[in-house]
Chain A
Amino acid sequence: MPNKAAAVENLFRPKMMIQILSKKSESIRPCWNCQSDNVAFYNCGSCTSIQQFLHDTDYFTLFNIGYKLSVDPDVLEKQYYELSRRFHPDYYQQRSKAEQDISLENTALLNTAYQTLQDPLKKTAYLLRLIEGDEALPTQAPAELFEEIFEIQENLETLRDLVPSDTDSRTELAKTLCSAAKEMTQFQAEENAQLKALFLKWDALETQRRDNGFSAAQKELLTKMKQILSHAGYLERILQDIKTALQ
């Protein structure tokens, strides 16, 4: 009765998507233990064995939040606990080795998924990869930012090379670096705020989406998100470097 299994599977998957994944969707499997088609939410309806996640289960689907980016952290947390309870290795101690292994694997995936979905930047990068493939992430260097980063890095180098007795230069440089850090922190905050605004716009369009393709408006939002992502790594790194140098 594969149709029944498919129906159960669809309860777990948001209705609108699947095809947006670049990967091929794995077919519905019967229970690995008793071969029954009656697989309900990752436990077999017949023998109750735990079922492994399908290989193409993405994090959004796993948390059943659609491809939405501004999901309430409380909702996410609640869902995380809910899923943890289903798969937690503690509950499978009395079960077979095979079930214990699946429970461990599912839990590991669940944890990674939660960490990704909690972090705005990681979540954005993940969605981009999902939709556009591994090549989606930006490699283009933001020229304006680089000028500033080089200047800061050169100041950091000078600071490292100073003789310890030269306290005047040290104070002067530290001051320059502090104000640079402030500026970068502000830039980072602005970008984070922008990203949040993009999330809201994305979710509004995602709610309206009826077919499998993304609209031009959504693609435009993805491009803007990419741009923010292209800065994020450098900002984080330079702020970390300044912090380490001034400690």
Chain B
Amino acid sequence: MAYSDKVIDHYSNPRNMGSLDKKDKDVGTGIVGAPECGDVMKLQLKISGGVIEDARFKTFGCGSAIASSSLATEWVKGKTIDEAFQIKNTEIVNELNLPPVKIHCSVLAEDAIKAAISDYKKKNEA
């Protein structure tokens, strides 16, 4: 099955690719991976007053994994932490028309958002 136009668009023009300062107290970093294929994904959120101001990702993996994380960064920007936490992988699947074999890529993106938020919360607990 071929990639959908939306996947190709995100893959060829990834949004918000790059890194934020990991040590910044306002930045939450989520690093996740898919053990079967070895894909790795890093998603970082800059959070201020409970709202996600900025998001960056770096994904080393297939087109669907890159597109999923690119889309995720687009979606979370401007959302509150709680709203971002509600994003479901199925929404990513629908938006990108991912075939069944690529569903795990969207799961990866959802997990990355959650991991980044947890990291931010942990950093700011103390």
The answer to whether A binds B is yes
- Stretch from A30-38, A56-64, A136-144 at the B interface: A136-144
B23 to chain A, nearest CB (A): 14
Answer whether A237 and B38 are a contact pair too, CB < 8 Å, given A141-B32, A143-B31: yes
| Contact (Cβ within 8 A) B42 A150 | yes
The answer to whether the Cβ of A39 comes within 8 Å of any Cβ in the partner chain is: no
Is A132 among interface residues, defined by CB-CB distance under 8 A?
Answer: no
Question: Can you give 14 A-B contacts (C-beta < 8 A)?
Answer: A139-B111, A141-B32, A146-B40, A149-B60, A150-B31, A150-B60, A153-B40, A233-B36, A234-B38, A234-B40, A236-B38, A237-B39, A238-B38, A241-B60
**Which residues of A are in contact with B by a Cβ distance under 8 Å?**
137-139, 141, 143, 146, 149-150, 153-154, 229-230, 232-234, 236-238, 241
A-B contact sample (18 more), CB < 8 A, given A230-B35, A236-B38 = A138-B35, A141-B31, A141-B32, A141-B33, A141-B40, A146-B31, A150-B31, A150-B42, A150-B60, A153-B40, A232-B35, A233-B34, A233-B36, A233-B37, A234-B33, A234-B35, A237-B37, A237-B39
8 interchain residue pairs of minimum CB distance? A237-B38, A153-B60, A233-B35, A141-B33, A233-B38, A146-B31, A234-B38, A141-B32
